[in-house]
A and B are shown apart, each in its own frame.
Chain A
Amino acid sequence: MKQKIVDARGELCPKPLIMTRKAIKDYSGPIEIILDNETAFGNVSRFLTDNGKDMTSTEDDGLFHIFIDSDGDTSRMSAAEDYCTVPVTLNTPSDKRGFVIAIKGDKMGRGDDDLGSILIQAFCNTIIELEPLPEAIVLYNSGIKLTVEGSPVLPAFKELEQHGVKILVCGTCTDYFELKNSIGAGIISNMYDIMECLAGASKVVSP
């Protein structure tokens, strides 16, 4: 069967996601998606796998190729834009941008770990009381441990996510702590997304 090619080189999020979704809707058969930046590759991959599409991919000299078999059915697929992790703040005037919370560790402050542990729990459980809510929460280093299954504050992050707060969990850190499969909230993210999220914020708050 003839392969359809989606050439999303030079396109910024959410365009590659929209092009991918449209191609799946319009065409049944093999589709190749070509992307030239890692953020778009990450977002499109996540969009496809979350929506149950088996994909294979290759990277060659900065170009990413994703191969899928389309059944032409997008009725049960989520909205493509939801997978765009480039913060909307980047295109928003600075006075309209939200703030971002960066959680750098699983304790709050340095000195005593038992104390730091209850402080960070109280901090995380209180975020939901804020008005307005933060636009995003970025977790890195041991901070990612707060989002794993069994964490006492996982329900707090799930609730924030339901309220539209974007939660970015550092992928390198989940790999380092071997917790990639235990993350219970947020999206596993990369340094590009984290950098864009922090740089696009009106301010960054850290416990």
Chain B
Amino acid sequence: MKILVFESTRAVIKAEKLIRAAEIECRIIPVPRTVSPLCGMAVELDEGSLQKAAVLLEEKNIKTDVFDRGEVSL
């Protein structure tokens, strides 16, 4: 699983809508504590969907950092 972290909460909301509109399955989770101690939201999706989602986000100029689920503890 991959975790996508964004610059702002508004960006998360836009990203979720884009990803779901493309019928890509995703999960909204809190940003893992080890990534940021702030109350942020992140999008989790299958590794296989990452490429498709990344293209969609780039088209809309939404910046994201990608983490591997295994690298971070919640």
Contacts and interface: CB of A to CB of B under 8 A. Distances in A.
Contacts of B52: none
> Does more than half of chain A's interface fall in helix, strand or loop, or is it mixed?
helix
Contacts of A115: 9, 13
Contacts of B1: none
17 contacts: A114-B13, A115-B9, A118-B9, A118-B13, A118-B16, A118-B41, A119-B41, A122-B29, A122-B30, A122-B41, A125-B27, A125-B29, A126-B30, A126-B74, A129-B74, A152-B26, A152-B27
Residues of A in contact with B, size category? 10 to 19
Contacts of B5: none
B41 to A, nearest CB: 5
Contacts, number: 30
Contacts of A28: none
Interface residues of B, number: 12
B12 interface: yes
B53 to A, nearest CB: 15
B28 interface: yes
Nearest to B74: A129
A121 interface: yes
A57 to B, nearest CB: 41
Contact of B29 (A114, A117, A126, A155): A126
Interface string B11-41: 0110010001000001111100000000001
Nearest to B9: A115
Contacts of B20: 152
A119 B27 CA distance: 12
Given A118-B28, A126-B29, A155-B27, 9 more contacts: A118-B9, A121-B27, A121-B28, A122-B28, A125-B29, A126-B30, A152-B20, A152-B26, A156-B27
Contacts of B26: 152
Interface in A49-103: none
A155 B13 CA distance: 20
